Amino acid sequence: MPHQLRVGARAPSLVPLEIRARLERGEPSANHMEQIAIDMGALLKTAFPSLANEADRMRSGGLVTKMRAGGQLLFEALGQEAWVVARNSESDSVRGWGAMAIGWAPALNLDNRLQLMRPYADDAHFAVREWAWLSLRPHIAMEPETAIRMLRPWTSEESERLRRFATEASRPRGVWSQHIAILKAEPELGLPLLLPLRSDPSRYVQDSVANWLNDASKSRPEWVEEICSAWLASSLSPATTRICRRGMRSISRVARSAAPESSTPVP
């Protein structure tokens, strides 16, 4: 069955052995559950036979740890060719190792890393795009204000994938990644990225902007309410409405849980 039509398993243990074997031969995955099920050591042997003796390094820890290990291994073996060679693989996991190699490589400044990451951030496979921002997350967390300045032009890119990268990589809390303390405390620093995307036509981008706001709402709910109020007052865009509704979902849940239970008056 073609990859595009395959529905991924809902748990790693439910991935059929045949699918797992195909993934370990280098076919693309349908979801993260399939990636978790992969024997990454076996995939390493298939993709890079010369590194077969390093396979056990790819079998420890969770998925993100294994992906970072893949990036480290490729950089150790190939140097700056790592992300060039990995880009040509059919396997999204191998391409993910290439993205991770960019984050692992020493002696690169943030601007260099961002430019090298562009093709991975714009990859056709959703998982590769996830590995792209996760790879750079530690570097962005070290220089958040510099990162925001450098990512500002990405918000004007034609590709929705690149526009999304700008907000996904800079989320105050993020997923599977360290938090960025200054953006939790001062989310207004992220406005250079949020403002250009507040009415973005792409739902893919809208979801990321909303998630950025939702992250911020957990430490600065009043700021998120003020921003959304201002955006909604100045725009009737359905995109802005959707972003604000999703961006304030945690605030709404808290409000509902704090509301007194209604009661029926006694006649």
Cα–Cα–Cα angle for 50, 108, 73, nearest 5°? 20
Query: Is residue 125 domain-shared with residue 151, that is, in the same domain?
Result: no
Domain boundary, last residue among 82, 112, 142: 142
Q: How many domains does the chain have?
A: 2
Provide the whole-model pTM: 0.91
Q: Token digits for 177?
A: 């990644």
Tell whether 263 is covered by a domain. no
Domain range for 234 is: 143-255
Tell whether 262 is covered by a domain. no
Query: Is residue 192 domain-shared with residue 116, that is, in the same domain?
Result: no
Query: What distance in Å separates the CA atoms of residue 43 and residue 66, rounded to the nearest whole number?
Result: 12
Tell whether 123 is covered by a domain. yes
Domain boundary, last residue among 142, 177, 198: 142
What pLDDT shows up at residue 266? 32
Query: Is residue 134 domain-shared with residue 147, that is, in the same domain?
Result: no
Cα 39 vs. chain centroid, distance in angstroms? Answer: 22
Query: What distance in Å separates the CA atoms of residue 239 and residue 87, rounded to the nearest whole number?
Result: 33
pLDDT by residue for the chain (267 residues), tens only, comes to 344 468 899 999 999 999 999 999 999 999 999 999 999 999 999 999 999 999 999 999 999 999 999 999 999 999 999 999 999 999 999 999 999 999 999 999 999 999 999 999 999 999 999 999 999 999 999 999 999 999 999 999 999 999 999 999 999 998 888 899 999 999 999 999 999 999 999 999 999 999 999 999 999 999 999 999 999 999 889 999 999 999 999 997 765 454 444 433 333
**CATH code for position 203:** 1.25.40.290
Query: Is residue 81 domain-shared with residue 169, that is, in the same domain?
Result: no
Query: What distance in Å separates the CA atoms of residue 127 and residue 82, rounded to the nearest whole number?
Result: 18
Beta strands in 99-231 (DSSP E): none
Sequence-ordered list of residues with C-beta below 8 angstroms from that of 192, at least 6 positions apart, any chain = 148, 149, 152
